[in-house]
Structure 1
């Protein structure tokens, strides 16, 4: 199993339009503070799946030499997590897409011209794609309707992706996400910046400790961190193109 974090930024991405803070300046110069919007590529020897399809998907696919995919799983119906799916128009038809009924209902209103193949997936019920096992679990991310995180299992390895979420993950979900080999956690800001809809770095690290994660990396990152090469001295921050082999 190979996981590539194609986009590790929050809804605005970094650099933020019109901002000249040190982190955005590092992004303008092409440093690792340059972050595109949410997308994760999951690969096996049987194919490739995208988890979320943010607005920068075309650039991400070209940069990472991704020719086609075997499915898309959407975590929730926020623009920065699905709008890039339109980049498949006239490239790949009838893509298989997976998610909760509420999520797919919302996204299909925007992307129904694409005629994707819809697969309604219930919470906590494993399903198989490209030889890997995926499970959706409930998280809290207001005002999104029924946001989810994703568990991936293969060959004794377990990866947990929180998706966008607050720290108050439901207890039933907590029972499912314990002891991951890798936790990919939403951590949009350092603790000095107030936030309500997402975890900050302290909360994400607390989640890593509670779950007993062997390894953790933070994603969905804002420009409120120091430039990446400085910030990673304090936090396990992801960057666009970061790869994990499990």
Structure 2
């Protein structure tokens, strides 16, 4: 399996409009550290899955010349994770978009998707798996305000887990669930600020010894140090992702 990170920024992206903090000023001068909102591709042989549809998704798809997808997965309905869903009205062929079944009617109405017949919303049932070609996709629930769906992608040999937005403390049952994964992707929109709906970077670094796999940090905000400084803080405990990382 391969991962390609298309966007690795938190809800506001980097740089943030109207912001003159040191991180945003640095990003304006160094385009390579700019971040679109979080989205990534999971690829296994000829199967290609997109995870999250942020508001930047049109520009992202054009930039990386993405021309085919087998399915799309959305973890929850926050703006920065779903607002690009309407762009798939213009996709060349119908595309299956998976999200919690309890949200489907709301999303059809909110984004006027009944006028977008190529957008096929597919309901996920909590803790139930589906198969797409040779990939098995499991979901499980993590705390995020009310909750969010986390995803596991497995080809039978390797497992990639995406926790997405997950509150702190991460429940022990979730730690046990992800412990055996080869790669764990987790959203860390804050550096040290405590927020019950999100994990921060310093908190996540505390659990690395409990995990067997590699920990990848995404959903990075301008509240964190610039990448050069942050990589020194993280060391070899985790991998700081960036847009375009494969």
**TM-score, with structure 2 as normaliser:** 0.89
Aligned length: 239
8 Å Cα contact 1:187/1:198 also seen in 2: yes
Q: CA deviation at 1:170?
A: 4.3
Secondary structure (helix, strand or coil) at the match of 2:140 reads strand
Summarize deviations over 1:203-243 as a string: whole Å, max 9, x none.
Answer: 22234333x23211111111011221221111232111111
- Mark the CA change 1:92 to 1:146 in structure 2 (over 3 Å): closer, same or farther: farther
Q: CA deviation at 1:171?
A: 4.6
Distance in 2 between the 1:62 and 1:26 partners? Answer: 25
- Mark the CA change 1:92 to 1:169 in structure 2 (over 3 Å): closer, same or farther: farther
8 Å Cα contact 2:169/2:199 also seen in 1: no
In structure 2, the residue matched to 1:17 is 17
Distance in 2 between the 1:91 and 1:97 partners? Answer: 12
Return the match for 1:117 from 107, 117, 120. 120
Secondary structure (helix, strand or coil) at the match of 1:234 reads helix
Runs of 4+ in 1 over 4 A off after TM superposition: none
| Aligned pairs for 1:6-155 within 5 A | 6-111=6-111, 112=113, 113-115=115-117, 116-142=119-145, 145-155=146-156
In structure 1, the residue matched to 2:191 is 190
Secondary structure (helix, strand or coil) at the match of 2:202 reads helix
Which stretch has the larger CA shift, 194-203 or 34-43? 194-203
Q: CA deviation at 1:81?
A: 0.4
In structure 2, the residue matched to 1:213 is 212
Return the match for 1:240 from 206, 230, 243. 243
Which stretch has the larger CA shift, 225-234 or 167-176? 167-176
- Structural RMSD (CA): 1.9
Summarize deviations over 1:175-202 as a string: whole Å, max 9, x none.
Answer: 43222111111111112x3433210112
Distance in 2 between the 1:107 and 1:209 partners? Answer: 39
1:225 and 2:228 matched: no
Secondary structure (helix, strand or coil) at the match of 2:27 reads helix
8 Å Cα contact 2:187/2:218 also seen in 1: yes
8 Å Cα contact 1:26/1:34 also seen in 2: no
Distance in 2 between the 1:172 and 1:122 partners? Answer: 19
Summarize deviations over 1:58-79 as a string: whole Å, max 9, x none.
Answer: 1111221101211111100111
Distance in 1 between the 2:177 and 2:225 partners? Answer: 34
Distance in 1 between the 2:105 and 2:32 partners? Answer: 35
